[in-house]
Structure 1
């Protein structure tokens, strides 16, 4: 079961990505964030979880702009 704090992190990351990618639907963004969370779910150091989730989810999102992927 997902910890409450992790659920809040997922929610906030998804909100930030929705604002920065208004052309993508909510399901796509939520899917990317949950996939990223699954990859970091058992990380022992939780301090950087929000940053890591956002960066990984960003990589998983479709992008029509090649410069977005070079970040």
Structure 2
């Protein structure tokens, strides 16, 4: 995993945990990692953080899309 991608993954997980403090850290990390695995080969990287956050929220099943 590239250093920049690791930074993005960490930021997304932290945002999800801040907006949804009741979520388990391991579940959030797993969902973000799964989302990253699905999007890791995207050619356009500009929107990767937003797409990761939305997909991880979908995987968590709580409807979180980066909004409080």
Under a length normalisation based on structure 2, what TM-score does the superposition of the two structures give? 0.88
Work out whether 1:7 is the aligned partner of 2:6. yes
| Structure 2: runs of 5 or more not aligned | none
In structure 2, distance between residues paired with 1:29 and 1:5: 19
- CA-based RMSD: 1.2
Any residues of structure 2 matched to 1:21-60 within 5 Å, and which?
Answer: 21-60=20-59
SS at match of 1:42: coil
Q: How many residues align?
A: 64
How far has the Cα of 1:20 moved from its partner? 1.0
In structure 2, distance between residues paired with 1:55 and 1:25: 17
How far has the Cα of 1:3 moved from its partner? 0.4
Under a length normalisation based on structure 1, what TM-score does the superposition of the two structures give? 0.85
- Flag as ranges the 4+ runs of structure 1 deviating above 3 A: none
Deviations 1:32-67 (A, max 9, x none): 00000000000011000000000000101143xxxx
